[in-house]
Structure 1
Amino acid sequence: MTATTLTPASPTPDPAPGRTAGGGAPRRRTARRWFTDVGWRHVVGVVFVVYAVFPIVYVLSASLSDGGTLTGSNQLFRTVTTENYAALADTRFWTWAANSVQIAVVTAVGTVLMGAAAAYAFSRFRFTGRRAGLTTLLVVQMFPQMLAFVAIFLLLINLGQVVPALGLNSKTALICVYLGGALGVNTFLMYGFFNTVPRELDEAAKIDGATHSQVYWTIILRLVTPILAVVALLSIIASFGEFVIARVLLQSESNWTLAVGLYSWVSSLLEANWGLFAAGAVISTVPVLALFLFLQKYIVGGLTAGSVKG
């Protein structure tokens, strides 16, 4: 008697996406199905791009217009001339630009140094009031700095009578105000990033005889370079374009920043020169844009790594 062996039937694989079960030609996706699955994303992307780019194109067109009003720019690039850019040489524009760069750079350096030191202390040391200090920083950063500009104004009036360098119309006083306002949010941002650095590195360095300062300057700061670059970039952008506090504190035209100086050109409706204002606005975006492109590789890593481990 012969035994019959039955081979189990293998399951039929599912057809590939877009193909029929019989292995025929792929089914054509209709335009309606494509729009439902993917197309609507392209439409939303195009709308947001146009929404973001149009003001930039409009200001660029106004800067190249031969008139001093914005009505001549309703037809984009109807006239193209560099008269507005050439006229900047006869103004204090470059003095204001130098003031803005000076204030932004000093504020960024001070913010990075102060914020990194505070974040390192909160991350590595255990001391009384540590949790209360972190909570205070979290609460303080919720309130915009400009809410206190009246108190800052009165404080600097009285402080200037004792220390003139820290009174009104002082770039040093403005830098100190910016440093105080940015310390809370930047410290809390760096604190999360410092926690991602393993403590074993600190312990290994201390075993080799390194002090706390050596560990901080030679090891930790090199490992947290992305967040330092992000904080410096955000600080430069915020201080470079800040207007309210700079307008209140800086009274002399030679000490004005770009934001205050450009506003003075259009503050009077009868003598507003929007072409000159647009030309100055276009030039003022160049250093910030160049710095953003230069530090772009650090931005994503610096903003996301700190959220992994708190």
Structure 2
Amino acid sequence: MTQTLQPAAPLSQDRTAPKPRRNFGAWFKDKGWRHLVGVAIGAFALLPLAYVLSAALNPSGTLVSTNGLFSTLSFGNFQDLFADPQKPFAKWFVNTLVIGLVTSAGTVFLGALAAYSFSRMRFRGRRMGLLTLMLLQMFPQMLGVVAIFLLLSGISDVVPWLGLGSQIGLIMVYLGGALGVNTYLMYGFFNTIPTSLDEAARIDGASHIQIFFTIILRLVTPILAIVGLLSFITATGEFLIASIVLNDPDTQTLAVGLYSFVGDNQSRTWGVFSAGAVLAALPVMALFLFLQRYITSGLIAGSVKG
């Protein structure tokens, strides 16, 4: 019995030809323009920072005579920054750190308490309270400058350590202005935490305080870090209210104290001012780099459910 031999199947050939390379015009129309926009935005954001750093390292002390960036390098402005006893930069730096840290810690703690109450408890006036928080965000804090001044001036006659010229009074003003927007921001994040965790804890006999400190705060760490960072940046960079409340040079912040280097038309030292601005940015940069991993996850998760 003969067996018919089948012819061997031809080897499969790769029919996929390499894709033709697109010309520069097609690539630029599709993706290239994005890189161009990114480079332009990056240069637009970095150029002022580079100019300030160049002015801080320029011994001429003026901004007009700076012909090129980093044409002359010197640390004389940084030495002059700490040389004037009438302008205590070191005290301003410490005052700014104290006010910023206390304000951010108080904002995080009080805002978390308020957000937990609005998110987990049901009480009369809850809806009206949330609407009030939204309305408060529509009015800038600048509208209350006159009222803040008169209020602190009246408090100075009764409680001097809480009135004008007091850092505690300035911290109280910052806390009142930051609680509205930060409470509403944390409220949206608290709503993303399942209520089943609270119910399970209550079945085990846990109170609201125990649930808040042992369960909720550990789950909302990203939004707490974001609120603390934003509060610190706002408190350290605010000028208008701080210049009204703090009238003693020993209690002023960096934003107010550095203005004295350029406030006088006859003795403007832009180089020393730029050196102080560079040093003033270091704490904010350090805190931002330390907490940057929480920014994206915190803001996105807080905007899912509100």
Common fold by TM > 0.5: yes
Cα distance between partner residues in 1 of 2:18 and 2:127: 65
Deviation at 1:88, TM superposition (A): 1.9
**Map of 2:102 onto structure 1:** 106
Residue 172 (structure 1) aligned with residue 168 (structure 2): yes
Identity among equivalent pairs (%): 58
- Structure 2 residue corresponding to 1:239, chosen from 235, 241, 244: 235
Residue 27 (structure 1) aligned with residue 20 (structure 2): yes
Cα distance between partner residues in 1 of 2:27 and 2:259: 49
**Map of 1:88 onto structure 2:** 81
- The within-5 A match list for 1:139-178 is 139-178=135-174
**Map of 2:122 onto structure 1:** 126
- Structure 1 residue corresponding to 2:262, chosen from 254, 261, 266: 266
Cα distance between partner residues in 2 of 1:57 and 1:195: 42
- Partner of 1:229, secondary structure, is helix
- Structure 2 residue corresponding to 1:294, chosen from 282, 290, 294: 290
Cα distance between partner residues in 1 of 2:16 and 2:301: 47
What is the one-letter code of the residue matched to 2:30? D
What is the one-letter code of the residue matched to 1:44? V
Deviation at 1:73, TM superposition (A): 2.0
Give the aligned CA root-mean-square deviation in angstroms. 1.0
What is the one-letter code of the residue matched to 1:286? L
What is the one-letter code of the residue matched to 1:35? F
**Map of 1:48 onto structure 2:** 41
Q: Which structure 1 segments of 5+ residues have no match?
A: 1-21
Residue 281 (structure 1) aligned with residue 277 (structure 2): yes
Is this contact kept in 2: 1:62–1:72, CA < 8 A? no
- Partner of 1:73, secondary structure, is coil
**Cα distance change on mapping 1:88 and 1:151 into 2, 3 Å:** same
* TM-score, with length taken from structure 1: 0.92
**Map of 1:64 onto structure 2:** 57
What is the one-letter code of the residue matched to 1:43? L
What is the one-letter code of the residue matched to 1:46? V
Cα distance between partner residues in 1 of 2:159 and 2:224: 32
1:4-27: per-residue Cα shift (whole Å, max 9, x none)? xxxxxxxxxxxxxxxxxx743422
Is this contact kept in 2: 1:58–1:73, CA < 8 A? no
* TM-score, with length taken from structure 2: 0.93
Residue 117 (structure 1) aligned with residue 113 (structure 2): yes
Q: Which structure 2 segments of 5+ residues have no match?
A: 1-14
How many residues of Structure 1 are paired with residues of Structure 2 in the alignment?
A: 289
What is the one-letter code of the residue matched to 2:37? V
**Map of 2:3 onto structure 1:** none
Deviation at 1:94, TM superposition (A): 0.9
**Map of 2:7 onto structure 1:** none
Deviation at 1:165, TM superposition (A): 1.2
